[in-house]
Amino acid sequence: MSDIKQQIESNKYGIKIAVIPVELLKDIKSDIVKLRESEELNGFQQWIMNDAYVLELPDPEPDFTAKSIVIAISPRNMVRGIFNYKNKKAEHIFDMSQDGVNDFIHGVFNSNGYKLQSIDWFPQKRLAVRSGLAEYGRNNIVYADGMGSFLALDTYKSDMPCDEKYTWREVKNMDLCDGCNLCIENCPTKAILPDRFLIDNVKCLTAVNENGTEPFPDWIPKTAHHRIVGCFRCQDICPKNQEILNNITETLEFSEEETNLLLSGTPIENLPQMLKDKAYKYNISGHYESTPRNLSAMLENI
């Protein structure tokens, strides 16, 4: 197991992995059950906790009996986007998963004679924290040394035995959070609650920003809009992220003509090829219908 870990972690992707015995999923299930009982859940959170999360593995397949759970984190690519508009510039940070990480991890396991299978809807954040790869922030986002909160999480089941020492700890917030309320104070919709582990995801700007074309509800202040997708106020202000944000080296410029095309809602297939390539490469395409509304709201604040 140590050879595989070394092969994966000494790579260009900056991946870190943890391997735990599959039996420890019972602790994750216990954690989720306690959350269900202790937190007042809205409909979406109930669906995640009760229906979406995978808390038990299915019966073994004829040629694949899972013996371990593999958790992987990797830094996301950070790009500073600049939208030119009426002789002004608006900034958006793109953070994207690195291409090839999943294939690389599979390749290492397969070359060592083990099978690996991705499992959707594992409680990935909790697995990362319990296994020692990450820690929670007050905003219910996970952070890791050298990556901050700008990380990608992948979880798998494997037939590789977990026959070496592993970390398995209680869930905890970062020590940095002690006495720090920056994320709570800077949340534009007050979705981060000081006396609750889970945020009010219905009020989180991300939930509204990533869906629909209707005007924003009145309870969202106009000053809140700062990204064309998602919300990063709590991450932008977090001390754990400052080194990452201050060392973004890649910049992507959108000309005024390109900005106006995005604002106009021009169908993505009708965009000039260069802008179309940007839309797909930098994940604008994933929420393209919402882009004109979100970009317009962001530009009003420059």
pLDDT of residue 264: 97
> Is the full-model pTM beyond 0.85?
yes
pLDDT of residue 64: 92
Query: What are the pLDDT digits (tens) for 42-81?
Result: 889 999 999 999 998 988 888 899 999 999 999 999 999 9
CA torsion sign, 281 to 284 to 287 to 288?
negative
> Is residue 1 scored above 80 in pLDDT?
no
The structure tokens listed for 221 are 């202040």
Distances (CA, A) of 84 to 3, 37, 197: 49, 49, 39
pLDDT of residue 89: 96
To which residue do tokens 């870190």 refer? 16
Better-scored residue on pLDDT, 199 or 2: 199
Residue 192's CB is within 10 A of a number of other CB atoms, namely: 24
pLDDT band at 163; cut points 50, 70, 90: confident
Length of the chain: 302
Cβ contacts of 284 within 8 Å, gap of 6 or more: 228, 229, 262, 278, 291
Question: Please, what is the end-to-end C-alpha distance for the chain in angstroms?
Answer: 52
Q: d(Cα 203, Cα 21) in Å, to the nearest integer?
A: 37
Pairing of strands 250-254, 77-85: parallel
When pLDDT is averaged across residues 168-193 and rounded to a whole number, the result is 94
- The angle that helices 291-299 and 256-264 make with each other, rounded to 10 degrees, is 130
